[in-house]
Amino acid sequence: MKKKIFISSLSLLLATLMLFFCTSCGGLTIKASALSAAYSRKTTDEGEVTEDFKNAVANFSFDLLEGTLANAKEGENLLVSPISALLCLALVTNGAAGETRAQLKELLGMDVETLNKAAYAYARSLTSGDGFKVKLANSVWFKETETLTVSEDYLQTCADWYDAEQFAAPFDDSTVKDINGWVKKNTDGMIDSIVKNLPPSAVMYLINTLVFDAKWQSEYEKKQITDDEFHNYDGTKKNVKMLCSDESKVLRVEDGIGFSKNYKGGKYSFVALLPDENKNIYEFAASLDGTDWLSMWEAKEYYPVNVKIPEFSYDTGFSLKEILQNLGVTDMFDASLANFSALASSENGNIYCSEVAQKCFIDVSRNGTKAAAVTWGAMTEGCAEPSEPLNIFLDRPFVYAIADNATGLPLFLGIVSNL
């Protein structure tokens, strides 16, 4: 049975009260009340994806990867979704004020008004089509209690720029079920739960999901799928299925070389970077930054390259809290310093963020289509060819991304170290 390329990501931000308190519902169990109808999009501004936005997102993407690397165990496979994290942090930035907002602005590289308009335009540009799908979803969940007052302006902003669904809920067992059900639905069943229980102090969840599901632009024939070995980071070898193909786009970075391979429709691509022999994969990944990535993307070379991609599948789940703190976002996690006055107020204490987390899943295998093979071949027209094609075989640790071809921005960034 043939498989597709499946990738999903979920970014989760949990806000809690400074003081521990019990719910005032007295054990009442009701389902979450959807408020989306009350807060539908009112603005007609469509926003714009600017060069400044593209540069800021690229820099944030590799800051996030570098932060993840700092907390990674040697030999660990990594996967992050910068876009999912960005959109989740955009939701919280709109609720922040004062120094809390200033720190988030510094991290994201733009003020909140610019962020809202550009993020809206960029999300709308991530379209789906025959054989490929990108699905984004946002939601705001807050505790239905008389002691919490949520800003109506905040909810309207979330509707205007992020198409966020909004739910008032009792934050009991039924809310756990509702949140997990929403996540499962919006990740097409690939991530089925994120919470087991809700702490009594929890008052709000801000959630973003991102699903990428695509076929290869050109289907692999049986003869292109071979048995091979992957040389793991830990020195062991793993028997794998290798997907062999002839590609045409070569990418060069310091201490490494790579390629990009289109998915059906030509709107998105799989990008892989292989470090030079004897170059540590984590040091190589840490040396990449947003400026280098965009420069590499713009300077791609067109000539034949023989490629081998191993089939692989894994999931990741980790906290972003320490990563964000190391990047200078500290006040939002401090119960005495956090300023979320643009988000909500509580009679029980100051609102602050207790956690930011992300889960990702990826499955790469052989499925694709023959329909776009000619387009794929047309990319090499008019280009000088070397006497012999390059060979880029991903048979040892490598960096990869799922990129939006229009901007070069990575929707997902990962490292395969062990299979």
* Residues 290-321 pLDDT 10s: 999 999 999 999 989 999 999 998 988 888 99
- Quote the pLDDT of residue 378: 15
Tokens of 325: 């703190």
Q: How high is the pLDDT of residue 9?
A: 53
CATH of the domain at 236: 2.30.39.10
The pTM of this model reads 0.88
Own/partner pairs for 20-27, CB < 8 Å, 24+ apart?
Answer: 20/200, 20/201, 21/147, 21/200, 21/201, 21/348, 21/349, 22/200, 23/143, 23/145, 23/170, 23/171, 23/172, 23/200, 24/145, 24/146, 24/147, 25/145, 25/170, 25/172, 27/172
The string of pLDDT tens digits covering residues 74-99 is 899 999 999 999 999 999 999 999 99
102 and 190 co-located in one domain: yes
206 and 60 belong to one structural domain: yes
pLDDT at 6: 60
Q: What letters, b where the CB count within 10 A reaches 16 and e where it falls short, cover 362-388?
A: bbbbbbbbeebeeebeeeeeeeeeeee
Distances (CA, A) of 286 to 2, 256, 274, 414: 35, 13, 13, 12
Do residue 185 and residue 235 come from a single domain? Answer: no
Question: Are 355 and 373 members of one domain?
Answer: no
Domain total in the chain: 2
Looking at the fold, whether 141 and 187 belong to one and the same domain comes out as: yes
For residues 115 and 244, membership in a common domain is answered with no
CATH of the domain at 210: 3.30.497.10
Q: Say if residue 347 is in the same domain as residue 277.
A: no
Whether 115 and 183 map to the same domain: the answer is yes
Residues 27 and 170 in one domain: yes
Residue 404, CA distances (Å) to 127, 171, 260, 261, 323 in order: 10, 37, 11, 12, 25
- Domain extent for 388: 222-310+368-416
In this structure, the answer to whether residues 244 and 120 fall within a common structural domain is no
The residue from 322, 347, 362 where one domain ends is 362
My answer on whether 210 and 230 are in the same domain is no
- 160 lies in the same domain as 176: yes
Type of residue found at 96: A
Note down pLDDT in tens along the chain; length 419 residues.
444 556 555 555 554 433 322 222 333 233 455 565 566 677 777 889 999 999 999 999 999 999 999 988 989 999 999 999 999 999 999 999 999 999 999 999 999 999 999 999 999 999 899 888 898 999 999 888 888 888 999 999 999 999 999 999 998 999 999 999 998 898 888 888 888 888 888 888 899 999 888 989 888 989 999 999 999 999 999 999 999 999 999 999 999 999 999 999 999 999 999 999 989 999 999 999 999 999 999 999 998 999 999 999 898 888 899 999 999 999 999 888 999 999 988 888 888 888 888 888 888 887 532 221 111 111 112 234 444 778 999 999 999 999 999 999 999 999 999 99
